[in-house]
Structure 1
Amino acid sequence: MPDVDAMRRVASEKGLRLRAMAKEKVSIIVLGHVDADGMASVGLMARALAANGAIFTARAVPDVNLRMLHEMASEGFDFHVFCEVGSGHLKDIEAALGGKYMLIDHHQLTEEERESPNVFNVNAFGVDGSRELSGAGATYMLARNMVDDAKPMSWLSVVGALGDRQDRGSKHTLIGMNEQLAAEAISSGYLDISEDLLLFGRSVRPLHESIAMTFDPYIQGLTGNKDACLAALTSAGLLIKDSSRWRVAAELTPDEKEKLLATLSPYLDISGADSSAVWGTTYLLKREDERSYLRDARDFASLLDATGRMGKAGLGIAICLGDRGAMLTDAERTLLEYRNAIMRHLRVLLSDEERISQDGQMVQLVGDGIVQENMTGAVSNALSGMPQLRGKMILLRTITKSGEIKFSIRKGLGSQSKVNLGQVMLQSAAFVGGNGGGHDSAAGARIPAVKADIFYEKLKSGLR
């Protein structure tokens, strides 16, 4: 059973420590992962530090390595806060920074991390960090103790959890402590929950574009094909324009939504899904503009993911801190570029037979020269929903700028495997002198290029 009381007690101790540092004007750097959960985590910590008048810098990185840590140490910060990044790298962090750090995370942890006084990891208290509490949720546990009233920030923990695909409950609801944090956001007047269509850009994009740009789930015959979507909607007799204005999914009437679900049903069927994949619990941020990508918390998460992975993390962090001007305009443009980039990667990877190899239940896709290292997680997430990869173990690899090999692995839609991918990647990477880890159904690793083949064989052995 989770020891929530112990977790809250430790979170209080660490949060109060950071609050004291902020008030003492200790120079702090906040480092987060480039994915949506990492960006939301950085945003939460930055808000809490700013409320205390802290001197701080906030950044997002795709990974942690010893070279980067030494470079950061040379910058002269007094303290370093890692949010949703750094697990599996404790020895390197200690070597570069000594004890001047705090690591806040929800990924599976090592025994060294479990015993470290500088680590706050929700898994150490029996909370399932892959389903019940995200990295942003873990950060919020500390932020609660850094400001007098943290509830106005609680909505960011919801964005992080949805970005980490933790809506694992019935009808795509958040569960566990994520659900409790969502309740806080509701009670504080920042969040509303209802049941509706689960399509990308549901309150912003024209209906046919919204369907075409949705790849969770991947809808065979429609995802990535705006013309096919337009034809399907027109054939079904759905009103897609109001005078000269394109209509959006959020404004459809209940009857029109039923007709849309019926229209999508045969496409979902051949994709190995049904209407429940595109209908469920929506989390709406009440204080955001109704025609903004920030209105739907899932779209907000996608925007943060885009800014982080496309090398524009500053935009996402600024939006988490409240910027709704030019930064938001740039971020929305980046979001569309990001979604289009993922679709391009999927098309190239799946159309080039030389990039695909299958070994039993594992399918490896080689993204060398195509998929940038920042994008491996996002592309592997999209691949995991592809009908042709249903039930498979999906391994995506690419070459990093430093010449290493980065691997990202996912369980494909419908996979019945009980293998803990985070543990297998951690052990396989360590076997060849690399670093790896993650969750039970999604994980990654960074490996010396000369050891890639050995790593692959070790990974296959661990997946059996």
Structure 2
Amino acid sequence: METHTRRVESFLREVETAAEVISEHINKGNQIRVVTHFDADGLSAGGLMAASLMRAEAVFSVRAERWIDENVISEVLAARPPLTIFTDFGSGYLNLIERLQGLEVIILDHHQPSGEPPEGVLQVNPHLSGIDGATEISGAGVAYLTARAMSRENRDLAYLGVVGALADQQDKFDNRSLGGLNELIVKDAVESGTLKIETDILLFGRETRPIHKALASTLEPFIPGVSGEEDKSLALLINLGIKPKENDRWRALRDLSKDEKKKLFSELASILAADTDQKNAAMTLIGTVYTLCREEPWTSLRDAREFASLLNATGRMEKPGLGIAICAGDRSAALREAEEVLQSYRKTILQYMKWISEAPTRLEEFDGFYLLHGGEIISERMIGTVSNIAIRSLPRRDKPLIAYSFVKDEGIVKISARGTLETVKMGINLGKLMRENAERLSGLGGGHDIAAGAQIPREKLGEFIEALKKALP
């Protein structure tokens, strides 16, 4: 316990240092450039920094990117801002960031670092203090603690740190709750009146959607005959004696009685138990619910996991500006457009999952891992999300999933690697595996032990797969 306390204190000292540097630039009226990752955690982090910088009346810009490459670095060099802040990525791209020598750079990240930061680069990363960035704090969490150190008034932004952690699926503690440093962020969110915690059935749209639509929208786990099937979901409720409407108004999950919820869960558990690949998936439907109290009921922002899905949709569907705007406080035009994007996003995922199931050769099993051939069909922006869903239904929990898709017109392959708690316990570190094998083939890679990614030249894909066969026998 004492060791963990020292680690937290060490990390928070680095956070304080970053906050002081940012505040100095704000006070001087300097331009601050924020570059963030385009996934939900990255958009939470970028939007959170935008909100805190707006409050401080800073001069700044925010941009979301798929990854850091030569183009991103060249844009920073051309603009030459007095301060550049990378959020939710950077620690895996230190060799590229080295080109920014002469410019002041702060990295607020939680992925495994690769090497030492160049001179002039301040890296705030929990791994450097012995804290696991894969499970204990997200990129948005690091950004939140930095914003809080800038001003205590930013404590009401803690909920975005919670959203980022849930987006990165860090709810792996008891009862699908957040733990580690995330507990500190949850505490701030509760005390600031933005968050309420309870245990319940976890359905997408539990606060906002008619029950049958919430059931049909549930993709993790994928429930046969329910996910993507509104008519069948409605019939299921009627057969169970659960009224989908009351006084001509559709009921949401939050409107059900305890007995009705028990009956519904029992039926869903039976359906999943009948699927040989998902016998134990039912328990993932029960867990800690994080409700954002200040968000309007019947919106996609009321449930923190649904908020994360909305952000993920904007990033994956090439509308990251909407996600950043929502995190920064926009609840009008940006939210309306983002909810439309979310519908398209979920339809796209369902199409991909059905495509995978139509031919056994699209998901191949090797001795040490599964390989999903996304090729030119699954968008490189969506391959990570598809991997997150697919890994849950695989029969062998001791094998990671490696998925790939081709980046159109760029001659690059995007690799997504996903593991399980079992693979981590076995000592498989996907972040290290992706980084070492990608760099050997003139690519880039990195991430966490349980989730990672890489980009490699398309012509090197065969060599990459063969290298994985040797590394994961």
> Above 0.5 in TM-score?
yes
Give every structure 1 segment of 4 or more consecutive aligned residues whose post-TM-superposition deviation is greater than 4 Å. 114-117, 387-391, 412-417
**Superposition map of 1:196-215 within 5 A:** 196-215=200-219
Whether contact under 8 Å (1:28, 1:79) holds in the other structure is yes
Q: Provide the C-alpha distance between the structure 1 equivalents of 2:25 and 2:107, rounded to a whole number of angstroms.
A: 16
Q: Any idea what the Cα deviations from partners look like across 1:230-255, whole Å, max 9, x if unmatched?
A: 22222111111224332111111111
Q: Provide the C-alpha distance between the structure 1 equivalents of 2:13 and 2:260, rounded to a whole number of angstroms.
A: 50
Of residues 398, 402, 407, the one that matches 2:415 is 407
1:289 correspondence with 2:296: yes
The CA deviation at 1:369 is 2.0
1:129 correspondence with 2:136: no
1:25 is aligned to: 29
The CA deviation at 1:458 is 1.8
Which residue type is aligned with residue 28 of structure 2? E
1:364 correspondence with 2:371: yes
Which residue type is aligned with residue 28 of structure 1? I
1:440 is aligned to: 449
**Superposition map of 1:226-245 within 5 A:** 226-245=230-249
Q: Any idea what the Cα deviations from partners look like across 1:215-273, whole Å, max 9, x if unmatched?
A: 12222332222232222222111111224332111111111111111121211213222
**Superposition map of 1:161-172 within 5 A:** 161-172=165-176
Q: Provide the C-alpha distance between the structure 2 equivalents of 1:388 and 1:61, rounded to a whole number of angstroms.
A: 34
Q: Any idea what the Cα deviations from partners look like across 1:323-343, whole Å, max 9, x if unmatched?
A: 111111111111111111111
Whether contact under 8 Å (1:84, 1:106) holds in the other structure is yes
1:350 correspondence with 2:354: no
The CA deviation at 1:450 is 2.1
Q: Secondary structure at the match of 2:433?
A: helix
Q: Any idea what the Cα deviations from partners look like across 1:259-310, whole Å, max 9, x if unmatched?
A: 1111212112132225431111101111011111111111011111111111
The CA deviation at 1:60 is 1.1
2:391 is aligned to: 384
Task: Say if 1:125 and 1:343 are closer, same or farther in 2 by CA, change over 3 A.
Answer: same
2:58 is aligned to: 54
Whether contact under 8 Å (1:69, 1:97) holds in the other structure is no
Q: Any idea what the Cα deviations from partners look like across 1:83-120, whole Å, max 9, x if unmatched?
A: 00222211111214644321110011123149985211
The CA deviation at 1:55 is 1.0
The CA deviation at 1:159 is 0.6
1:427 is aligned to: 436
1:149 is aligned to: 153
Q: Provide the C-alpha distance between the structure 1 equivalents of 2:39 and 2:15, rounded to a whole number of angstroms.
A: 23
Which residue type is aligned with residue 175 of structure 2? K
Whether contact under 8 Å (1:66, 1:96) holds in the other structure is no
Q: Secondary structure at the match of 2:416?
A: strand
Which residue type is aligned with residue 29 of structure 1? R
Aligned residues: 464
Q: Any idea what the Cα deviations from partners look like across 1:143-178, whole Å, max 9, x if unmatched?
A: 112224221111110111111100111111100110
Q: Provide the C-alpha distance between the structure 2 equivalents of 1:102 and 1:162, rounded to a whole number of angstroms.
A: 24
Of residues 460, 466, 472, the one that matches 1:451 is 460
Stretches of structure 2 that go unaligned for 5 or more consecutive residues are: none
Alignment root-mean-square deviation, CA: 1.9
Which residue type is aligned with residue 256 of structure 1? E
Moved more, 368-377 or 189-198: 368-377
1:187 is aligned to: 191
Q: Any idea what the Cα deviations from partners look like across 1:48-72, whole Å, max 9, x if unmatched?
A: 2112111111111111111332133
Which residue type is aligned with residue 94 of structure 1? E
Stretches of structure 1 that go unaligned for 5 or more consecutive residues are: none
1:78 is aligned to: 82
Whether contact under 8 Å (1:316, 1:331) holds in the other structure is yes
Q: Provide the C-alpha distance between the structure 2 equivalents of 1:85 and 1:100, rounded to a whole number of angstroms.
A: 16
Moved more, 442-451 or 410-419: 410-419
Q: Provide the C-alpha distance between the structure 2 equivalents of 1:212 and 1:120, rounded to a whole number of angstroms.
A: 41
1:460 is aligned to: 469
Task: Say if 1:419 and 1:38 are closer, same or farther in 2 by CA, change over 3 A.
Answer: same
Task: Say if 1:93 and 1:161 are closer, same or farther in 2 by CA, change over 3 A.
Answer: same
Task: Say if 1:115 and 1:252 are closer, same or farther in 2 by CA, change over 3 A.
Answer: farther
Whether contact under 8 Å (1:384, 1:413) holds in the other structure is no
Moved more, 280-289 or 387-396: 387-396
